[in-house]
A and B are shown apart, each in its own frame.
Chain A
Amino acid sequence: MITLASFSLQLALVLAVYSIVASVVGIQRDKDRIQYSAYRAIYAVAALVTLASSVLLYGLLTDDFSLSYVASHSNRTLPWYYKMTVLWSGQEGSLLFWSWILSVYAMIAIMLNREKHRPMMPYVAATLAVVQGFFLILNVFVANPFQLLGMEQGGITVIQGPLDGNGLNPLLQYPAMAIHPPMLYLGYIGFTVPFAFAMATLFTKQAGERWIETTRRWTMVTWLFLSIGVMLGARWAYAVLGWGGYWGWDPVENASLMPWLTGTAFLHSVMMQEKRGMMKVWNMVLIFSTFYLCIFGTFLTRSGVVSSVHAFAQSAIGPFFVAFLGAGILVSGWLLLERLDYLKSSQQLDSLVSRESSFLFNNLLLLAACFSVLWGTLFPVISEAVQGVKISVGAPFFNKVNIPIGLLLLLLTGVGPLFAWRKTSLGSLKKNFQLPGIISLAVGAVLFVLGVRSFYPQVSFILCVFVSVTIFMEFYRGSRVIAQKSGVSQLEAAVVLTRRNTRRYGGYIVHFGMVLIFVGVTGSAFDADREQEMVVGDRLNLGPYAFELQEISDSDNPNYASQIAVVALYQGDRMIDTLNPERRFYKSSRQATTEAAIRSRFNEDIYVVFSGMTDDQQRAVIKVQSNPLVNWIWMGGLVLIGGTLICLAPSDPGLRPSRRSSSAGNTHTHEPFTPGAQPGMQDEEKDEVPV
């Protein structure tokens, strides 16, 4: 079976190459049959990589330790669901997983579009096959997951694995970690499809918006996956790594953030092309950047170029990625320059105060944030190359550089959507921003009086309120008109309003999710912590809380042995909770970890870590933290997901709320409401907020 899996990967590589050749020949000779054979080769690649992935998964679930990969990353006592996650926990398996997702994506993209966009599809297929071929080369020649373990017996090599494996990295044995990598991969890899369509557009010299219309929804789904992946990663870091934070500006975290930033910029700037035919070249640059940043992120994680707690073991895979990135950037860059004439459009700007300008500044800030993250991530390598001395770039640097940019972005989140296309009048500006301005400044004043006087937290809270008010005003104004005309409740009208233009109002909800995330992140400015060596009965004070170490107990199961501290939490004299931070020792991997105990509330998390025992084993080292507002980040993430799902739902511009008769008491009459009588709403349909 393992031989079959290896062979299927090799055959998949051959078919990917065939698909490239057949696409090119099909284009040159203009033969549909040859082009279709290229598509079928892509379907076959998907089937073959699925087969190979299934075999590896079967090997993991059945503890086939003759497979080197299984022996290195799994063990018998690992629960079955974590055995499945081993598929993407190591270098070889995760690259196979990558290939599999790409093959399925490619198959779906071709199936959905081969008839709709016939002239473009051979180029799309060729581009997808090139990327697929690259990963299959890695699967077959560089990081083969089907390496067998053997031993010499009587002059011949017998396939035989150890009785048990090394086990999964304990840090990865966490539920969110079971979903986080697939989500990130779905996000990373998904950008290959819009990239392929962009390349096809350049090859076929099509200057229009077709590729954007075709891939908009796809890009949004991909962006959603990436967003979920980033959020789950933050949640995992918070709950598992035990340092009390959720974002450490680790190179691998940064690698996931960079394509998210450029992808976000792309989702905004495509609006300019859709609405005004503007920024055609820029959109190409953005989707290329996003795709290459995804590949670059994969390179960072796997090459050992930068040290990271998340990184895979250092391997020889780096040069392959560098070559692929270099060649890809050269080809796509050359193609873009070659086709500049086809992408030109004579744009005009009616006013600097317009939606167009806000999109430009939005893109500027997102790209500036991306550049600063990239620069900070690579600076240790650059400094070592330039001056021979490695300079570390940690969280303080990223915070100092990115906080001002982030706050400006937050401001634009509130201001941008209220600008009209082409031109916004002064009166309109005043009407739109007066109330949010007054309310947010009032909140700022109250917070100042209450003692929040640091500059950044103060500005951040003011902007959060400002953006929230602008968003609620937009919902209120639109829904009020519907409510008045149809007699339905304001809430029902808001639902109707959203369903009529899901993209616009879903976008607002996404923006509100970002506001909640900003509130949560701002809360970290008020984090407090304390660490103390304690014996049973000792107390530790932090703000209004007292922590009493009541007991240290031991526990054991086949996977790990653990030591648990029982810590009573007091507020004043009243005991309000008991927390049980743990230290675990995983037997197979022989690794120790800490399991933080978290008391999570709407306004604050209490985070307790059992850091270890003192050298004389007499005292426990207990670290406690108060993390205000951290839950708002997770709430914001959920709102962001919900908003994006709404954006993805089709709009129903003709949706009519049922009119309720005010004189009918409990009887509801369902007279149809005429949408044509809503000129304002018709206009709203034209206006969208991207996510």
Chain B
Amino acid sequence: MKSRYKEIPQRLSAPVFRLLPAVMPAMMMLALLTVPPAWSQQSPAALESDAARTDYGRIASRLVCQCGTCGYLVDSCNHLDCSSATYIRKAIRAGLAEGQSEEVIVASFVEQYGPKVLSEPPLEGFSWMAWIMPFLGLAFGGACVGIVLFQWNARRRKDPGGDASGASPAGESGEAALAEKYRAEIDQELEDL
């Protein structure tokens, strides 16, 4: 069937319009690539966040301020004269100055405050549940979606012609066919340009 669009003079066939879908994302990419001086003026290794952090910063981000109200990472707590964060920071620096390893320093805080000082649940005992449950939830939800899709698909196989869905089944079916047809027409014209 001949497309009705072909009756319209094609005035905008200049290459620039063909490239339009790529132009805007290209601008975005350009912005991404010209972003921070840190990207362009540092070595690639410095781009890795871990490498950009000092030992102190890495340890401080593994610990939570114990003031009891803020719940911030020691690294982030910015409460002026916060006794807890200030003490922990000094202790980290002292430990590093003495040549202690990251694990030894962190363990000393766990011994002092208990596991609540850690910024994420440790991989042991009941704390495993913290890590497992979100993905278990996702898997469970995925299984439910799979079952639902299977049931819907099974209904179609059982009754290929019917659709008792609420929204004008015949019309929807016709719309879907039309949608596919018109999309194909548009695509064909794009190729013809």
Q: Measuring CB to CB, which residues of chain A are less than 8 angstroms from any residue of chain B? A: 207-209, 241-245, 248, 250-251, 273-278, 280, 307-309, 345-350, 352, 356-357, 360-361, 364-365, 367-368, 371-372, 375-376, 379-380, 383, 386-387, 389-397, 400-401, 405, 420-423, 425, 427-428, 431, 435, 439, 443, 446-447, 450-454, 461, 464-465, 468-469, 472-473, 476-477, 480-481, 483-485, 487, 490, 519, 523, 525-530, 543-545, 571, 583, 592-594, 602-604, 609, 611-612, 626, 628-629, 662, 677, 679-680, 683, 686-687
B142 pairs with A364, CB closer than 8 A: yes
Taking CB atoms, residues of chain A closer than 8 Å to B31 are 602-603
* Known A477-B190, A603-B31; contact A277-B64, beta-carbon cutoff 8 A: no
* Known A345-B164, A396-B62; contact A526-B153, beta-carbon cutoff 8 A: no
**B180: Cβ under 8 A from any A Cβ:** yes
B41 pairs with A450, CB closer than 8 A: no
- A273–B42 CA distance with the chains assembled, in angstroms: 52
Chain B interface residue number, banded: 35 or more
- A372–B131 CA distance with the chains assembled, in angstroms: 9
B134 pairs with A371, CB closer than 8 A: yes
Closest chain B residue to A438 by CB distance?
Answer: B22
CB B117 to nearest CB in A, in angstroms, measures 7
* Known A348-B165, A375-B134; contact A307-B120, beta-carbon cutoff 8 A: no
A571 pairs with B116, CB closer than 8 A: no
B153 pairs with A490, CB closer than 8 A: no
B49 pairs with A454, CB closer than 8 A: yes
B127 pairs with A485, CB closer than 8 A: no
CB A506 to nearest CB in B, in angstroms, measures 17
Can you list 13 pairs linking A and B with CB atoms under 8 Å apart? A308-B69, A368-B134, A420-B183, A421-B175, A435-B21, A447-B32, A450-B44, A481-B5, A490-B17, A526-B38, A526-B52, A603-B34, A686-B175
- A420–B141 CA distance with the chains assembled, in angstroms: 24
**B81: Cβ under 8 A from any A Cβ:** yes
Closest chain A residue to B56 by CB distance?
Answer: A531
**B152: Cβ under 8 A from any A Cβ:** yes
Taking CB atoms, residues of chain A closer than 8 Å to B119 are 392, 394-397
Closest chain A residue to B185 by CB distance?
Answer: A680
Residues B6-63 near A (CB distance < 8 A):
8-12, 17, 20-22, 24-25, 28-29, 31-39, 41-49, 52-54, 57, 61-62
- A89–B8 CA distance with the chains assembled, in angstroms: 62
Q: Choose among A454, A476, A609 the residue with the greatest number of B CB atoms under 10 Å from its CB.
A: A476
- A367–B142 CA distance with the chains assembled, in angstroms: 11
CB B20 to nearest CB in A, in angstroms, measures 5
CB-contact partner of A484 in B8, B153, B179, under 8 A: B8
B28 pairs with A604, CB closer than 8 A: no
* Known A390-B116, A528-B52; contact A683-B178, beta-carbon cutoff 8 A: yes
A-B contact count (CB 8 A): 323
Taking CB atoms, residues of chain B closer than 8 Å to A450 are 33, 39, 44
A604 pairs with B78, CB closer than 8 A: no
B21 pairs with A472, CB closer than 8 A: yes
Known: A276-B167, A487-B11. 19 other contacts (CB 8 A): A364-B144, A368-B138, A391-B130, A393-B121, A395-B119, A396-B62, A397-B120, A397-B131, A421-B179, A454-B48, A461-B32, A469-B21, A484-B11, A526-B39, A571-B37, A592-B80, A594-B80, A603-B34, A679-B4
Taking CB atoms, residues of chain A closer than 8 Å to B81 are 592, 612
B166 pairs with A465, CB closer than 8 A: no
B36 pairs with A245, CB closer than 8 A: no
Taking CB atoms, residues of chain A closer than 8 Å to B71 are 248, 250-251, 307-309, 392, 394
- A439–B28 CA distance with the chains assembled, in angstroms: 12
CB A243 to nearest CB in B, in angstroms, measures 4
Taking CB atoms, residues of chain A closer than 8 Å to B57 are 529
- A174–B100 CA distance with the chains assembled, in angstroms: 42
- A675–B107 CA distance with the chains assembled, in angstroms: 72
**B99: Cβ under 8 A from any A Cβ:** no
B47 pairs with A452, CB closer than 8 A: yes
CB-contact partner of B156 in A348, A431, A628, under 8 A: A348
CB-contact partner of A439 in B20, B25, B49, under 8 A: B25
CB A671 to nearest CB in B, in angstroms, measures 13
A275 pairs with B12, CB closer than 8 A: no
Per-residue 0/1 for B111-152: is the Cβ within 8 Å of any A Cβ (1 yes, 0 no)?
000111111111001110111011101100110110011001
Taking CB atoms, residues of chain A closer than 8 Å to B183 are 420, 428, 680, 683
CB A486 to nearest CB in B, in angstroms, measures 8
CB B153 to nearest CB in A, in angstroms, measures 5
B179 pairs with A389, CB closer than 8 A: no
B141 pairs with A277, CB closer than 8 A: no
Closest 7 CB pairs of A and B: A277-B166, A451-B44, A372-B134, A349-B152, A394-B119, A277-B165, A243-B76
B165 pairs with A278, CB closer than 8 A: yes
